Structure 1
Amino acid sequence: MSRPLKLSRRTILRGAGVAMGLPMLECMADDQAAETPPSRFGMFYFGTGMNMRQFEPEDEGPDFKLSRILQPLERHRGQFTVLSNVFLNHGGGHDGAYPFATSIARGEKQQISPDQIVAQQHGKATRYPSLQLSVERGTAFGSQALATTSWNEQGIPLAAENDPKVLFDRLFRPDSEQQKVNRAHEFRQRGSVLDLVMEQAGGMQKRMSQVDRQQLDQYFNSVREMERQLDRDVAWSDRPKPDPDLKDPKRFEKSITDKQPDFRYDTYAKLMYDLIALAFQTDSSRVVSYVVRRELSGGVYPEFGVSKGYHSLSHHGNDPRNLEELAKVDTIYMKHWAYFLDRLRSIREGDGTLLDHTVLGFSSGMGIGHSKNRLPTVLSGGERLGVRHRGHVRLSTPTPLSSLWQTMVHCCGVPTGDAFQDSPGVIDDLV
């Protein structure tokens, strides 16, 4: 009698110039159990707040009654916590995406965002240290409606991607032989350019004032970061991308952005959440930030069946119709969030599910009526990372949003030091 087959999680099938990763199989169970699943971190921004009158629950505790907007999350009760009494010191305006992750106002020198703090530790083992997603490509830096909430060590915004096809190709589409040749040439060219830049800049530094030297030192830091990314690109260039084992890979063969006439948000939202789940599942990345809804523009789509844009609805003037449509739109977004949690919970991993090993936080730069003191804030997942869900927690004192980020970073096993933004510490009720 033949012995049962046992495979490593990292088994690669090779043949005729093709290399493919495998999905999780039962014969990998022992291998999986021997490894501690990695921690994952997700930070999500819902621009322009929400209708807090129909978002915030009235009662507290694990058995709280879900509000209208949160009702789609009922099937995930026990795997998320709603936090009330959360504020953002520089929030309340349409430039709230700037301080969202760092507590630093627009126009001031930014600092590293919590997702990048986690990426510094957990991103070393993955092809992509972090992924930045958004409904708008790029950064939109300088405008009110920032398209990213991720900032590197130098306080520079990290550009986001908005097209599911581009993301899928980057994560999973194998490179052609010509692409490999072109990439190898680009690596060599970029490397030589960086060497030249560093040599020239180093020679100029000796003749500069102290202020200029400080400027140049900041520039050096950016160059070093480029070098680190170059080294990572080279190291990963010959490793095959994972096979996500999709039932319908054609879903990702067409570019989808809200600039297209046949755009449907329901399709788009599910594709984006599916890609995050796949990136986590295949360990392509362990850190994600996602601007789900930008400030000022967009936020509603024809299939929503509402009369105005989200920004216009947020200036409700206590009009019942505006408030009703605002709650309707927010509920649609929560249905998609519930879909995302479904996906993560359906994937078995280690002693639990992918959701259990992933900590996710969403909030906004404002609440309702452009308030900075009543933010729609939810923590999801992370049970195997030490998160203790409490249903609805009305914090006893006003608590900065940075305390949520510090709590999530802490649950990912990353030290935060004595001071973390304007946070007084982790939220003890959650750990």
Structure 2
Amino acid sequence: MRPRLITRRRLLQGSLAATAAIPLLNAELARGDEAVAPKRFVVFYTPNGTLESQWMPTGTETNFTLSPLLEKLEPFKSKLIPLRGINMNVVVNSNIGSEHARGIGGLLTGRALLKGNFRSFMSNNAGWASGISLDQHIANKLKPSTLFRTLELGVQVRDAEVRGRLCYSAPDQPIPPREDPYDTFEQLFGAAVPGQGGSEGGSAALDRLRAQRRTVFELLREEIADVRPRIGAEDRIKLEAHMQSIREIEQRLAGGGAPDGTGAPAPLCKPPALGARIDLSDDANMPAIGQLQMDLAAAALACDLTRIVTIQWSYAESEHLYPFLGLSENHHAISHQWNDAGKAKYTKIHTWFAEQLAYLLGKLDSYKEGDRSLLDNTVVLWVTEISESTQHALTNMPFLLAGSAGGVFRTGRFVDYLANGGRARQHNDLLVTIANAMGTDDTTFGDPEFSTGPLPGLT
């Protein structure tokens, strides 16, 4: 009798939905549906620029030292490309909107803002961006065969105007991010989360809940049981850890207790107390909300539910509070405190953001795809809407790439276009370079006046 096989995709959809930070099985029985793993694109946005002196690495292309604001990324240094000398000239000279609004509007579109009535800092004439964003463009061109063409996630974004929108399906057509990880979980994995309202005490509601909570893990249980005797001890340990991890993330989202230790899913049909649900409006919960969104982003990519994800932390010109860092003033106010005390507070916030990116990179790197990891098959772009915060600058942007998009980018280098008398490059061309790495044939992107083609020295 021919032995039953579990494909990589089905295994991921079941036992990896919780994004356990351990590698996939090495056994040949868990083999991929495709000969080559797909490429993925992730945008990681954080607000209010940076301190250039504390962000830019030092040293040479291949012998460089990460700066204080980047030191949390040291474990992934060999998979990084910090960039120096990237300008956003497409929005520098525009008179529409503040630098913050212009910056976030142009980050992924490579185009200036349209006129409108949104207020942003000292300006009240800002409209939406005038072009499609790179994530949507890549999805339109490549038409990935995934359940979700793209996935837009937000962490306490709150602003519904131009400052709070990163992605655009077309000119003047912003895409709001998903800010509720509970809703994200239900949409991705088809499992209802208790505490979402409705008559949870009725038998009909419980029956629906029981049906919805039949996760793919449960549906795959028979196949997993068939495979377990034919894999090695090491792989068996990994498989058990994966199966445990989905139970844990379900309970984190539902507010349930610890797993029961029996090897079967914990009883999730009993609605938990609503008080256990994370308050999405509380600034103190930003770390927990962000971690859930990053876990779900990694799961969606690993399960091939999508290949393009944007993660947006707050909004441009953010006035978010960070009580969990011991700070009482808002982020934007701190970004303009130019004394040493203000810079220390600002550094604390942006070091924390680097730590969040390190968490996401670690999740992606934990999934093994042949001789590479999910991170290796992904290109992550870390962006912010301005550069030097004290000057509202839109030149020498603090952009960073992580992952090689399946070997396209040569990582572990500090690419400095200003070194040795070099000239600055346009961020539109960085967007073209990423599009090409993902598989498009674009020669320009965004406003063609500010785009001449792919950047040199990255691939």
- In the other structure, the counterpart of 1:102 is 109
Superposition pairs for residues 344-359 of structure 1, below 5 Å? Answer: 344-359=364-379
- In the other structure, the counterpart of 1:57 is 57
The one of 281, 304, 316 equivalent to 2:325 is 304
- In the other structure, the counterpart of 1:47 is 47
- In the other structure, the counterpart of 2:174 is 157
Q: For residues 306 and 22 of structure 1, what CA distance do their matches in structure 2 show? A: 39
Q: For residues 121 and 374 of structure 1, what CA distance do their matches in structure 2 show? A: 29
Q: For residues 10 and 324 of structure 2, what CA distance do their matches in structure 1 show? A: 44
Q: For residues 279 and 139 of structure 1, what CA distance do their matches in structure 2 show? A: 25
Tell me if structure 2 keeps the 8 A contact 1:87–1:399: yes
Q: For residues 378 and 10 of structure 1, what CA distance do their matches in structure 2 show? A: 30
Q: CA deviation at 1:290?
A: 2.1
Listed as ranges, the gaps of 5+ residues in structure 1 are 14-19, 177-239
User: What's the secondary structure of 1:128's corresponding residue?
Assistant: coil
Q: For residues 85 and 359 of structure 2, what CA distance do their matches in structure 1 show? A: 27
Q: For residues 308 and 368 of structure 2, what CA distance do their matches in structure 1 show? A: 19
Q: For residues 160 and 34 of structure 2, what CA distance do their matches in structure 1 show? A: 44
Deviations 1:372-408 (A, max 9, x none): 1122110001252411114211113212222222111
1:416 aligns with 2:437: no
- In the other structure, the counterpart of 2:254 is 253
Tell me if structure 1 keeps the 8 A contact 2:47–2:313: yes
Q: CA deviation at 1:171?
A: 0.5
Q: 1:389 to 1:3 in 2, by over 3 A?
A: same
- In the other structure, the counterpart of 2:227 is none
Tell me if structure 2 keeps the 8 A contact 1:139–1:160: no
Deviations 1:74-128 (A, max 9, x none): 1111101110111212157120211111122222561111101111244541111
Q: For residues 53 and 257 of structure 1, what CA distance do their matches in structure 2 show? A: 36
AA aligned to 2:166 is T
- In the other structure, the counterpart of 1:218 is none
AA aligned to 2:438 is C
Tell me if structure 1 keeps the 8 A contact 2:430–2:455: yes
Give the ranges of 4+ consecutive aligned residues of structure 1 lying more than 6 Å apart after TM superposition: none
Superposition pairs for residues 260-409 of structure 1, below 5 Å? Answer: 260=282, 263-316=284-337, 318-368=338-388, 369=390, 370-382=392-404, 384-395=406-417, 396-409=422-435
Q: CA deviation at 1:252?
A: 2.0
* TM-score of the two chains, using structure 2 as the length reference: 0.71
Q: 1:301 to 1:22 in 2, by over 3 A?
A: closer
Q: 1:22 to 1:58 in 2, by over 3 A?
A: closer
| Identity across the alignment (%) | 25
AA aligned to 1:333 is F
AA aligned to 1:129 is R
Deviations 1:341-369 (A, max 9, x none): 11101101133100011111011221122
* TM-score of the two chains, using structure 1 as the length reference: 0.75
1:427 aligns with 2:455: yes
Q: For residues 331 and 384 of structure 1, what CA distance do their matches in structure 2 show? A: 28
The one of 99, 103, 116 equivalent to 1:93 is 99
Tell me if structure 1 keeps the 8 A contact 2:376–2:404: yes
How many residues get paired?
357
AA aligned to 2:442 is T
Q: CA deviation at 1:266?
A: 2.3
Q: For residues 400 and 156 of structure 2, what CA distance do their matches in structure 1 show? A: 23
Q: CA deviation at 1:328?
A: 1.2
Q: CA deviation at 1:323?
A: 0.8
Q: Tell me whether 61-70 or 91-100 shows the greater mean CA deviation.
A: 91-100
AA aligned to 2:296 is L
Q: 1:328 to 1:136 in 2, by over 3 A?
A: closer
Listed as ranges, the gaps of 5+ residues in structure 2 are 17-23, 93-97, 116-128, 194-213, 218-241, 256-276
Q: For residues 159 and 242 of structure 1, what CA distance do their matches in structure 2 show? A: 29
